[in-house]
Amino acid sequence: MVTKIIIGCDHAGLNLKKTLINFMESKGIDVDDAGTYTKDSCDYPQIAHEVAQKIAAGEYPKGILVCGTGIGMSIAANKIKGIRAAVVSDTCSAKMSRLHNDANILCLGERIVGEELAKDITEIWLNTDFLGERHARRVNMIEQL
């Protein structure tokens, strides 16, 4: 079980980020908020970079990024070596992104998933362990790309 996580969003993901912070804190998870903090337009690659760098440096085991669709955040985060950011909009993909891909950043789209589904996705993602074994070989291959 993750006890510490970092989360970030752009202006299009602010409401869902707040919901997820409250949800995770209610589960006893220590959540660090990397911003943004207002609805003012901002550049999502900066937030994604900050969160991804801290995870790649080992400061956090996992992170969550939220924007309108989750796509932009995932593209930006995946530019950082050691990051495996997965855009997820259903519970099966949440589980598989952890089981098979050892995703270390969950990317969600506020315009795509509702609050209750986002909570379910987050809970499954946080509580699913990587299977390792043959999947570890594949994750290592990804890391070599």
Which residues participate in catalysis according to the annotation? 67, 100
Q: Degrees (nearest 5) of the Cα angle 101, 119, 129?
A: 30
Euclidean distance between CA atoms 130 and 30, whole angstroms: 21
By C-alpha distance, which of 83, 113, 105 is closest to 12?
113
- In terms of Cβ atoms closer than 10 Å to its own Cβ (0-12, 13-18, 19+), residue 18 is middle
Strand pairing class (85-87; 63-67) = unpaired
